[in-house]
Amino acid sequence: MRSNIITIAAVAVITAIVVLASVAIGISLTDIDSVQSGNTGNALPAVAEPIPAEVPKTIAIPGYAQLVMKAGDIMQEISLHNPAENPCYFVISIILPDGTEIYRSGLIKPGQKADAIRLSQSLKLGAYKDAVLRYSCYSLKDKAPMNGADMKFTLEVVE
């Protein structure tokens, strides 16, 4: 019987120590967070910066594994578009694997597309692996440059 009382007392003491330690750790973590945020308890909290009315969104970049164009023609019927949900203009360029830019669009608004494009030079028959679609992005508000992307694809030139 006496050993049961000692066991129960030991468990109660260990439980109390664990609870007190947990509370002490919680308080010290709260104090660290207050110091890091600049709030020392007696000071007034910092005034939050106003949130901009237009929070930048992510930019959807269309990708293509392959585009097909006609050999010898400068005018090509392919569709390049800027998804409607984008918060920016696109300028889309097509660059051959050797670095030659054969097309550059004007500013394309969100939701608009170019169905026919005019190349700077005609292309010879063949497959141009690792051609690049370059998406340059510009702010709708002031046309300031934003992030862009280069997407590799295979340009198939057929008769």
What residue type is 134 in one-letter code?
R
Is residue 23 in a domain? yes
Structural domain harbouring 147: 66-158
Let me know whether 80 and 124 are in one domain: yes
Per-residue pLDDT of the chain (159 residues; tens, 9 = 90+): 666 566 665 555 565 555 554 544 555 544 444 444 444 444 444 444 444 445 556 899 998 999 999 999 999 999 999 999 999 999 999 999 999 999 999 999 999 998 899 999 999 999 999 999 999 999 999 999 998 999 999 999 999
Residue spans of beta strands (DSSP E) within the chain: 66-70, 75-76, 80-81, 88-95, 101-104, 113-114, 117-118, 126-139, 149-158
Let me know whether 40 and 70 are in one domain: no
For the chain, how many structural domains are there in total? Answer: 2
pTM for this structure? 0.64
C-alpha to C-alpha distance for 86 and 59, rounded to whole angstroms: 5
C-alpha to C-alpha distance for 115 and 138, rounded to whole angstroms: 21
Residue with tokens 């063949």: 126
